[in-house]
Structures are given as structure tokens and as C-alpha cells.
Structure 1
Amino acid sequence: MWAAEQVMLPALIDSEPITERAPRAIAIEVMHHVVYATATAATFAWLTRSTTGQRH
């Protein structure tokens, strides 16, 4: 999904293509996505584990 965003956004809005961005900026953005995905997966696992087997 992130890769598609990097291709589509410059075509849709006034944004620089990924090929013109600094490698450090790209790496930081990738790490932000990794942290977000990891936190989301951990939260989902915690929520589904804590509600499994409980009847409300």
C-alpha cells in the first residue's frame, strides 16, 4: 500500500516523486510505517486474545 501511495500521490497532487526524495527521508517514512503496522498488529492480537472465549 505504501508503494502505491508513493506512485499515485505525485500524479494526483503537487508532490515530488519518490525518485527525487532523499534516501534518509524515505527510510524514515518506511520506519514510521513499520512501527504503525507493528503496533496495529500487536493491538489487534491483544484485543482478540483478551476477548476470545468470553461471553458477554
Structure 2
Amino acid sequence: MSYECPGKNSWPELVGTNGDYAALVIERENTRVDESVDKNRIVVKVPIAG
């Protein structure tokens, strides 16, 4: 049985954006998301629920 998170599950449009901005966008749509940022707080991988 697979687990489905309610809401949006990925945000490819946020790759390359500021991590703080991305967190705000993601939190409005789904609170169960992993976000990967670099040392400059830039999103480097597509944020996904999980």
C-alpha cells in the first residue's frame, strides 16, 4: 500500500530559487516536504513530499 500526501507532491518550478521563498510556497501547499538547498540557500533539487 502506498502512502499519498494530500496536496501538491513536487515543485520543479522552485529549483534555482531562494530556499526561504521556496519554503513559504511549499508550506502553503503541503507541509510534508523535503527541500534541498546549497550553501547559498538556493534550491538544488526538486522539492518532494515525503
Q: Fold match, TM over 0.5?
A: no
The TM-score normalised by the length of structure 1 is 0.31
Structure with the larger RCO, 1 or 2 (CA within 8 Å, 6+ apart):
2
- Of Structure 1 and Structure 2, the greater strand share is in 2
- Of Structure 1 and Structure 2, the greater helix share is in 1
The TM-score normalised by the length of structure 2 is 0.33
